[in-house]
Amino acid sequence: MSELLAVAFITVLAVISPGPDFAMITRNSYAYGARSGLMSAFGIACGVQVHVIYTLFGIALLIVQSPLLFTLMKLAGAGYLVYLGWRSLRSHGALQVSEAHGAAPSPFAAWRSGFLTNALNPKTMLFVVATYTQLVQPGSPLSHGIGYGLFISAAHWLWFSLVALFFSAPPVRHRLLAYQRHVDRLLGVALIGLGAALAMTGITA
């Protein structure tokens, strides 16, 4: 029980802290509506499972201990965030709420944006590795590890679904879309800044 509570506490803190996932969900939800936001949230939850799976098989420890592999993964994630930010900066749309829904990406495209944002984020990798290596006791059944992974994904899905529903609510969307170019540029700068910070962050002991 203490192990479960520790995993739950750290997961909640990690999920609600602002980061690339939050910026991406905000953009997709206010610009395209609840469906895109919710599919992106589901993509984030699936992206978490990528980290969980290779952590359970011990691959994550190899990545952390190999500067080259970690750097390549870090740069891939940073590059994707910069790409998302650049797209937001270059957005010329003056969407209305009704038009935003029609211009929404396909459910798969929305899911993919959430999945890639999380799966390519080495900070999520380090969080999952730290959770499993520091909190889960050696000799714990594999079923416990799988259960913790499902809990971490569920926590991401629930939180970012709430974020998506908030930013896709009509009053919020009307207000944000009225200042869409400013919001797009703010989110674009935030995503590029996160990507740049991620690229420059070294491995800490």
Q: What is the 3-state secondary structure (H, E, C) of 100-163?
A: HHHCCCCHHHHHHHHHHHHHCCHHHHHHHHHHHHHHCCCCCCHHHHHHHHHHHHHHHHHHHHHH
| 41 against 1, higher pLDDT | 41
Which range in 88-102, 159-173, 186-200 is most confidently predicted, on average pLDDT? 159-173
**Would you place residue 105 in the very low, low, confident or very high pLDDT band (cuts 50, 70, 90)?**
confident
Q: What is each CA distance from 93 to 7, 99, 111, 188, in whole angstroms? A: 42, 10, 22, 14
Residue 50 has pLDDT above 80, yes or no: yes
pLDDT digits (tens, 9 = 90+) for 111-137: 999 999 999 887 788 778 777 766 666
pLDDT at 100: 46
**Would you place residue 155 in the very low, low, confident or very high pLDDT band (cuts 50, 70, 90)?**
very high
By C-alpha distance, which of 17, 59, 35, 57 is closest to 159? 17
By C-alpha distance, which of 181, 160, 198 is closest to 16? 160
pLDDT at 204: 40
pLDDT at 114: 94
122, 77 Cβ separation under 8 angstroms = yes
pLDDT at 134: 66
**Would you place residue 205 in the very low, low, confident or very high pLDDT band (cuts 50, 70, 90)?**
very low
pLDDT digits (tens, 9 = 90+) for 165-178: 998 898 887 777 66
Residue 54 has pLDDT above 80, yes or no: yes
DSSP state of 90: T
Which range in 10-24, 36-50, 158-172 is most confidently predicted, on average pLDDT? 36-50
Q: What is each CA distance from 92 to 30, 113, 178, 184, in whole angstroms? A: 15, 20, 13, 9
| 101 against 5, higher pLDDT | 5
- Mean predicted lDDT score pLDDT of the chain: 79
Residue 99 has pLDDT above 50, yes or no: no
